[in-house]
Amino acid sequence: MIAAPASGQGKTTVTAALARLHARQGRRVRVFKTGPDFLDPTLLAAASGAPVQSIDLWMTGEADARARLGDAAADADLILVEGVMGLHDGTPSSADVARLFGLPVLVVIQAGAMAQTFGALAYGLAHYGEPFWAMHVLANGVATARHAEMLRESVPPGIAWAGALARDASASLPERHLGLFSADELPDLMTRLDRLADALAALPLSHLPAPVAFGPANTAAPLPRLLAGKRIAIARDDAFRFIYPANLDTLTALGTHVAWFSPLRDHGLPPCDAVWLPGGYPELHGATLAANSAMRDALRDAHARGVPILAECGGMMALFERLVDKDGVSHAMAGLLPGTVTMQRRLAAIGHQAVTLPGTGGVLRGHTFHYSSAATPLTPAVRAVSPRDGGTGEAVYQAGSLTASYVHFYFPSNPAAIAAVLGAC
């Protein structure tokens, strides 16, 4: 487990660089991401050369996480699990994941503005709550060799020193309002990661850790092929990119065939029985989406013909009548939903969400994370519930064959419900 005392410490960068270091040495590396996240996994997948699955003890559940870790453990030489936020933040937290699966923890601490407090922070992270199998600490953003030595000397007994990384702006990963840039937006990503991997290669953490005993995964019963023979058109381009690999696995297990399309570039939908518009960045591509009138017409036609459509967060934003970007410019969208969605300067919502969709049976789990707000005369078909406090969560709108919400659903949490939304008999 690669964790940190808070966000912004460099744990994604270190995890990706570690994956790159071992992958280029010929090892089979698998990386997992703790918590709901679409952006970090693209970087980790590029570094490791393998898809990155999510572990979230509420959203994905322990059984799902254990099965995916078990599958990876069957053929990987090294498994890395990147934490989320601070090590002990959230319920459940990265610490809970590490303890549940017996993972040693590497804590990355941004140490550029501290000295002996580094040791105090490391001690507190190691001793808050139940003990960990093992803990190592890595100092990030260190100024000089003398600074690194002061930090090393501050580490208390029982915590292993993993080394220090110097400040290196050329190797850092850029961010924007929803997080890090995706891997395909960084043409020099591998150069950055190789530079960091070279730095890590000389540190004490560069060797493989002692193996963690992990039993074989339980073989789950195959899913009923509720969508057998169905062709699902899935949006994927620079504006729509937030897709869990596990969601695609679920659709395949349900019997679907996937047809990819680009709302930015294509002028029509591929032949399909249902449409999925996942989240992404429509607010960054409002003018291009507005100019593609042929795609808007195709979506309206599919909706008029009763083709099932699932739209999540950014996908839903593109289906309102208007989208107002962060500069206040209004763009015409597909108009399947009445109203306007407007970008805000501050985060509008974040957190886990549980939804019981009408007519599907059972609960779908997922999360929400967005900077926009929607103004619409539509009455929600249902509202999600926050598992944190039981409070009211995101609205879910249903308009004919369309189901739309700010919630990003984790399909394995209820495959039958997703199949019902996408047109299962």
Domain boundaries, the chain: 2-206, 231-421
Which CA distances in Å does 16 have to 12, 112, 180, 197, 244?
6, 21, 13, 9, 18
What is the CATH number that goes with domain 231-421? 3.40.50.880
Cβ pair 179, 212 in contact under 8 A: no
Burial class (CB in 10 A: 0-12, 13-18, 19+), 305: exposed
Given the candidates 3.40.50.720, 3.40.50.300, 3.40.50.2000, 3.40.640.10, the CATH classification of the domain at 2-206 is: 3.40.50.300
pTM of the predicted structure, to 2 decimals: 0.91
Cβ pair 100, 57 in contact under 8 A: yes
Check for a shared fold between 2-206 and 231-421: yes
Catalytic (active-site) positions: 313
Which tokens go with 199? 């730095």
Per-residue pLDDT of the chain (425 residues), as tens digits, is 999 999 989 999 999 999 999 999 999 999 999 998 888 888 899 999 999 999 999 999 999 999 999 999 988 999 999 999 999 998 899 999 999 999 999 999 999 999 999 999 999 999 999 999 899 999 999 989 999 999 999 999 999 999 999 887 655 666 545 556 666 667 777 788 898 899 899 888 756 567 887 776 677 788 999 999 999 999 999 999 999 999 999 999 999 999 999 999 999 999 999 999 999 999 999 999 999 999 999 999 999 999 999 999 999 999 999 999 999 999 999 999 999 999 998 988 899 999 998 887 789 999 999 999 999 999 999 999 998 887 889 999 999 999 999 999 999 999 999 999 999 86
Buried b (16+ CB within 10 A) or exposed e, 391-403: eebbbbbbbebbb
**358 three-class SS:** coil
